[in-house]
């Protein structure tokens, strides 16, 4: 089940809020400019489906989302434990970074943690199948799908060059391992 844990950035051992309520998650993340929604989609796909099949199945939703966000492109990212690049990709995503555009993800399958570092707090948003999260441009964050990652997500971009990270050099993600 989706969830949110909020910590003071100096105290990774004790969360100040823990919730699995999607409404509470959305309310707590909204002041950061983060959009969180649970989509009740009638689309039913297999994890083996191709990116083309997934994009076609979600086209009506993507068209609406991309129009609302002013986005220009969408793609599919899949990561499974048997992918030989999984450890290197995990390390890249784990480093705190920002983007110059909103980072928009919809989880088709699997799950992962979007962890934002804002104003002395760490917000660990655990997202799973059916969750949409949009992290505003220039928000410090990282992503972790664990040591055995399994997820398929739609990514929406305004910049057609795709996922471009600007790393902060802060090792805060090492102090806040997801559980």
Domain 3-175: assigned CATH number: 2.60.120.10
**pLDDT band per the 50, 70, 90 thresholds, residue 11:** very high
SS3 state of residue 124: strand
Residue pLDDT, tens place only, 71-115: 678 889 999 999 999 888 888 889 899 998 888 999 999 999 999
Task: Enumerate the β-bridge partners of residue 74.
Answer: 156
CB 132 within 8 A of CB 66: no
**pLDDT band per the 50, 70, 90 thresholds, residue 70:** low
Average pLDDT of the residues of the chain: 91
**pLDDT band per the 50, 70, 90 thresholds, residue 43:** confident
The domain limits of the chain are 3-175
Nearest to residue 126, comparing CAs of 3, 1, 30? 3
**pLDDT score for 66:** 77
d(C-alpha 174, C-alpha 177), whole Å:
6
DSSP conformation class of 136: P
pLDDT(42) > 90 = no
Q: What is the CA radius of gyration of the chain?
A: 15
Residue pLDDT, tens place only, 129-154: 999 999 999 999 999 999 899 999 99
What does the DSSP assignment read for 35-99?
EEEE--------TT--HHHHHHHTHHHHHHHHHHHT--EEEEEEE-TT-TTHHHHHHHHHS-EE-
DSSP conformation class of 24: H
């Amino acid at each position: 089940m989706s969830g949110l844990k909020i910590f003071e950035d100096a105290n990774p051992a004790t969360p100040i809020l823990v919730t699995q309520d999607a409404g509470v998650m959305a309310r707590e993340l909204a002041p950061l400019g983060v959009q969180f929604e649970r989509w009740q989609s009638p689309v039913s796909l297999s994890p083996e489906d191709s990116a083309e099949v997934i994009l076609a199945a979600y086209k009506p939703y993507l068209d609406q989302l991309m129009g609302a966000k002013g986005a220009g492109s969408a793609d599919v990212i899949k990561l499974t434990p048997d992918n030989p690049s999984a450890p290197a990709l995990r390390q890249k995503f784990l480093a705190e970074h920002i983007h110059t555009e909103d980072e928009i993800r919809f989880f088709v399958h699997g799950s992962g943690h979007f962890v934002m570092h804002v104003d002395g707090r760490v917000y660990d948003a655990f997202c799973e199948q059916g969750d949409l999260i949009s992290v505003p441009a220039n928000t410090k964050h990282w992503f972790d799908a664990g040591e055995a990652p399994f997820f398929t997500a739609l990514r929406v971009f305004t910049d057609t060059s795709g996922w471009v990270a600007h790393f902060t050099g802060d090792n805060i993600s090492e102090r806040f391992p997801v559980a």
